[in-house]
Structures are given as C-alpha cells and as structure tokens.
C-alpha cells in the first residue's frame, strides 16, 4: 500500500473529506499546489466540485496542467473525483466549450433523463445510484473497483457527465432515468469517479483502499 498520497489543492474541491478517507488507512496525505511536488508524487488524487471552466482556471493559474499531463503519462496512479474526473477529458460543454486536460479522450455533456412514463427528471442528479459493469464486458479485476459487487451503490452529486470517446475507457456506468452516466472511467493508470467515494460508505472506502494499492 502507498506510503503517501498527494492531493491536488487548486482552490476548488472537497480536499479535506478526501484526505480523511485516505488517512483512514494510515496513509500520509500531502495537500499541494506546487508543480514540482506534483511531479515528484508517487500517486495523485485530483478532487473537485463546481464548474468545469473554473476548475480548469484554477489549474491553469497554478501552472498545474502540464504537470498533471506528464504525471498521467508517467504510469503512476492518478484518481480524479467528480469535477476532477471530468477535467481528465478533452473538454466540456458546460456553459460554453472549454478545453480539459485531454488525458482521456471525450467530452463532458449535460445530464438529462426521463422516467419510463416520460416525466423529466430533475437535475442535478443527487443521491445513491448503483454501479454497473458496462455491457461490453470490462472487468473490474485489478482496478479501483476490484472486489465490489455488481450494483453496489455510490453517492452522486452532478449535472454533467463524462462521455468517453472510446467505450473501453468506461469502467462503470449508472443510469439516471434513460440517461447513461459514466460512473467511473479508466485509461491505463488513470482513473476517475463521477461519484464521491469519500461519501459512499464502505464501498467508497474500498475504492480508496484499492487506489492506494493499485500499481
């Protein structure tokens, strides 16, 4: 298991609740917005809540965009949470067109959905929703979702969802009415959770524990 995890502190996010979840496993946590510190980290968590453009602005103002891209390319584990996951993608349609980190090809699009009777569902999507293994057969073995049962629930709060260009990068899905939502994504060593593992009870703690052990 990792001896230290670095959490990216860019002025926007639930960094302290994420830090507490990591510390639950006896792992040291370092909060940093220093590009050099991020470059030397063994594993990174990129948390976040709020608007995509503001999140990217926070990274840009701290000169963290290229260090994050280089870190992802290095093969070391990186986990994006909520907005942090969305920023891993190429761009977002939230309040205009905005460039993302481009680590996982794809776009972030609005959540929409209807019930079986055609009623429009409220947005944001808030609450507990089940995680499903995508139909094309991705396995959770060896990932941050290893050991979790099909349809285990996680806690979501979001109005936009990642849409990976390659379905192979979908690790887990959930549904909001008839809207397919990327609940978790993976590209090699880079992971993302649209839900909040730090607020998702035992299943969320298992995800954090898996991330601390993944190589």
Among residues 98, 169, 198, 209, the one annotated as catalytic is 198
125 flagged as catalytic: no
- pLDDT of 135 above 80: no
Mean pLDDT of the chain: 94
pLDDT greater than 80 at residue 79: yes
Question: Is residue 22 very low, low, confident or very high in pLDDT (cuts 50, 70, 90)?
Answer: very high
Domain boundaries, the chain: 4-213
43 — pLDDT class (breaks 50, 70, 90): very high
In this predicted structure, the answer to whether residue 39 has a pLDDT above a threshold of 80 is yes
Write down the pLDDT at residue 111.
Answer: 93
- Computed over its alpha carbons, how large is the radius of gyration of the chain? 16
Determine the pLDDT at residue 113: 80
Q: How many CA atoms lie within 13 A of 178 on its CB side?
A: 7
- Reply yes or no on whether 23 is catalytic: no
pLDDT of 28 higher than 90 = yes
Q: Is the pLDDT of residue 137 over 70?
A: no
For 4-213, the fitting CATH number among 3.40.50.1860, 3.40.50.880, 3.90.25.10, 3.40.50.300 is: 3.40.50.880
Joined tokens for residue 109: 């699009």
Please answer whether residues 191 and 171 qualify as being in contact, where contact means their C-beta atoms are separated by less than 8 angstroms.
Answer: yes
CB neighbourhood size of 13 (10 A): 23
Q: What's the predicted TM-score (pTM) here?
A: 0.94
pLDDT digits (tens, 9 = 90+) for 172-185: 999 999 999 999 99
Examine the pLDDT at 1 and tell me if it is beyond 70. no
| Catalytic position from the list 125, 158, 169, 196 | 196
CA distances 25 to 17, 105, 213, Å, are 14, 32, 11
Q: Which of 82, 125, 169, 209 is catalytic?
A: 82
196 annotated active-site: yes
């Amino acid at each position: 298991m990792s001896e230290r995890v670095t959490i990216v502190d860019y002025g926007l996010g639930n960094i302290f609740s994420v830090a507490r979840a990591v510390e639950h496993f006896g792992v040291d946590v370092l909060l940093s917005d220093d590009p050099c510190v991020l470059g030397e980290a063994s594993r990174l968590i990129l948390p976040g809540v709020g608007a995509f453009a503001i999140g990217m602005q926070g990274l840009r103002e701290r000169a963290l965009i290229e260090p994050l891209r280089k870190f992802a390319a290095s093969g070391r584990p990186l986990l994006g949470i909520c907005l942090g996951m969305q920023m891993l993608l190429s761009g977002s349609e939230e309040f205009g067109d905005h460039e993302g980190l481009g680590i996982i090809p794809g776009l972030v699009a609005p959540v929409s959905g209807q019930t079986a009777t055609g009623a429009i569902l409220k947005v944001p999507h808030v609450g507990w929703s089940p995680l499903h293994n995508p139909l094309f057969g991705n396995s959770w073995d060896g990932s941050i979702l290893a050991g979790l049962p099909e349809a285990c629930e996680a806690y979501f709060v979001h109005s936009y969802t990642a849409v990976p260009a390659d379905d192979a990068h979908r690790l887990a899905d959930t549904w909001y009415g008839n809207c397919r939502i990327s609940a978790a994504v993976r590209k090699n060593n880079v992971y993302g959770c649209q839900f909040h593992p730090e607020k998702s009870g035992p299943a969320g703690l298992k995800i954090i524990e898996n991330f601390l052990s993944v190589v």
